[in-house]
């Protein structure tokens, strides 16, 4: 199996190669929280770079529930023309383009001024940074039903806009991941307790989305291989959830790990079953592959062609790459030409893992902004500078978001 072999999904659609541009937190919406010209320009760079699959950053199913203040929202068809342009540009290189759809649950910054919902009223534990996120309200059955409807609605709109699939985000500590985690989900009803109950919302959403989109439209799930927290969602539970997804028409499961509390997706909190520096979650994928009936994708730490090839040769179907493609969007094309590019950012060795994770994301976003303006990336940017500029930008965007929400309420 080659890194540049096509992959045929269970639904019959074909991905032209095994390299996926994994989702990143872009926060580049326009004033209507639709795709901006800068965001569309950024995806043109990735389309030209040769990735077989492009997965968008978070698209929110509810404007009241945001992972960041300048996030893209798709609730109705008011701005569908902009989403169509986004899809057209992203597909222009010949790859598949999937919209990642998400709800943050309790992982929504307090500065956005919205009440937060979660499976249970359990606050994030980030030490001194805990106050950045409010204590959530426990969701009612009506709240849960509305979230399911919104995931389905956004998936339908994504297909109308011309995307070739959706990825339902159930990882990284966001809402569906919170339902799966016994640390965040203390419910005593049909959505809590046993793994079958904790997985119920995810399974219902997948089942409902698959029922309303076209057979050729891909339905994927992003799942934690583990929470990397004592007493959290375990590798064995991840394996069981993948088995549960097996007969629901899922076309691919992307495996990652961690959350805001334990940011393993940034290379922190890994245990001795993972590779030391690259392809963090490959060992978990090998175990989960024993029960998976759909293709698997591993994301986290891949930046060298040799490592990507090792992932594919191990039986994993797709190698998901994020940071390296933020630095060099032409990476797949360069690798195919025999080059050995291995783009990296300046290392961050700070002891405070949540702040280090924030600095890493800020440094990645610094590259994305430059790419969106068709400028050369700057991988040696100071993490401190990247974090400070990101915080200033986030505060400005948060004020704009609060004004936007106030205008929506007034209307």
pLDDT of residue 279: 59
- Extended beta strands in 34-173, E state: 53-55, 59-60, 72-73, 96-102, 117-118, 137-138, 165-170
Averaged pLDDT, groups of 10, the chain, 411 residues long? 94 98 95 98 98 98 96 98 98 98 96 96 83 93 98 98 98 96 97 98 98 98 84 90 97 87 52 46 85 94 92 94 97 96 91 85 96 96 95 95 95 86
Tokens of 47: 């389309």
- Residue-wise pLDDT for 190-235, tens only, equals 999 999 999 999 999 999 999 999 999 999 999 998 777 788 898 8
How far, in Å, are 288, 290, 305, 310 from residue 3 at the CA level? 21, 21, 9, 9
Tokens of 227: 């929470």
pLDDT of residue 262: 65
Tokens of 164: 């070739």
Cβ neighbours for 370, distance < 8 A, ≥ 6 positions apart: 376, 377, 378
| Separation between Cα atoms, residue 79 and residue 101, nearest integer Å | 17
Strands 7-8 and 14-15: antiparallel
| Separation between Cα atoms, residue 185 and residue 189, nearest integer Å | 11
| Separation between Cα atoms, residue 322 and residue 69, nearest integer Å | 21
pLDDT of residue 276: 40
Cβ neighbours for 272, distance < 8 A, ≥ 6 positions apart: none
* pTM strictly above 0.85: yes
Taking the CA atoms of the chain, what radius of gyration do you get in angstroms? 19
7-343 is classed CATH 3.20.20.70: yes
Terminal alpha carbon distance of the chain: 55
| Separation between Cα atoms, residue 269 and residue 222, nearest integer Å | 19
Element spanning 297, H or E = strand 296-299
Domain boundaries, the chain: 7-343
């Amino acid at each position: 199996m080659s890194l540049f072999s096509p992959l045929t999904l269970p639904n019959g659609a074909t991905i032209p190669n095994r390299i996926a541009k994994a989702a990143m937190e872009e926060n580049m919406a326009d004033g209507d929280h639709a795709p901006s010209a800068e965001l569309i320009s950024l995806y043109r760079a990735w389309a030209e770079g040769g990735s077989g699959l492009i997965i968008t950053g978070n698209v929110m199913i509810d404007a009241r529930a945001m992972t960041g203040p300048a996030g893209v929202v798709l609730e109705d068809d008011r701005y569908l023309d902009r989403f169509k342009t986004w899809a057209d540009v992203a597909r222009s290189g010949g790859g598949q383009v999937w919209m990642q759809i998400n709800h943050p649950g309790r992982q929504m910054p307090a500065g956005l001024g919205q009440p937060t919902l979660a499976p249970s009223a359990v606050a994030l534990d980030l030490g001194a940074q805990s106050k950045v996120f409010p204590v959530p309200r426990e969701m009612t059955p009506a709240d849960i039903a509305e979230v399911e409807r919104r995931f389905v609605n956004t998936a339908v709109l994504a297909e109308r806009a011309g995307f070739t699939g959706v990825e339902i985000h159930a990882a990284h500590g966001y809402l569906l991941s919170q339902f799966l985690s016994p640390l965040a989900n203390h419910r005593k009803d049909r959505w809590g307790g046993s793994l079958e109950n904790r997985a119920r919302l995810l399974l219902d959403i997948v089942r409902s989305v698959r029922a309303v989109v076209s057979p050729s439209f891909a339905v994927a799930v992003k799942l934690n291989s583990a929470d990397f927290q004592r007493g959290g969602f375990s590798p064995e539970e991840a394996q069981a959830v993948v088995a549960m997804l097996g007969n629901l028409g899922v076309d691919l499961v992307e495996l990652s790990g961690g959350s805001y509390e334990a940011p393993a997706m940034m290379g922190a909190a890994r245990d001795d079953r993972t590779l030391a520096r690259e392809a963090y979650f490959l060992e978990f994928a090998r175990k989960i592959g024993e029960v998976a009936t759909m293709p698997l994708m591993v994301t986290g730490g891949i930046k060298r062609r040799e490592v990507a090839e090792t992932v594919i040769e191990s039986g994993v179907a797709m190698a998901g790459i994020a940071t390296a493609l933020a630095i060099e969007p032409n990476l797949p094309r360069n690798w195919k030409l025999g080059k050995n590019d291995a783009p990296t950012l300046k290392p961050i060795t700070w002891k405070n893992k949540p702040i280090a994770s924030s600095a890493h994301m800020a440094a990645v976003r610094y590259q994305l902004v430059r790419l969106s303006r068709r400028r050369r990336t700057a991988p040696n940017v100071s993490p401190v500078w990247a974090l400070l500029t990101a915080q200033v930008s986030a505060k400005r965007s948060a004020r704009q978001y609060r004004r936007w929400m106030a205008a929506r309420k007034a209307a």
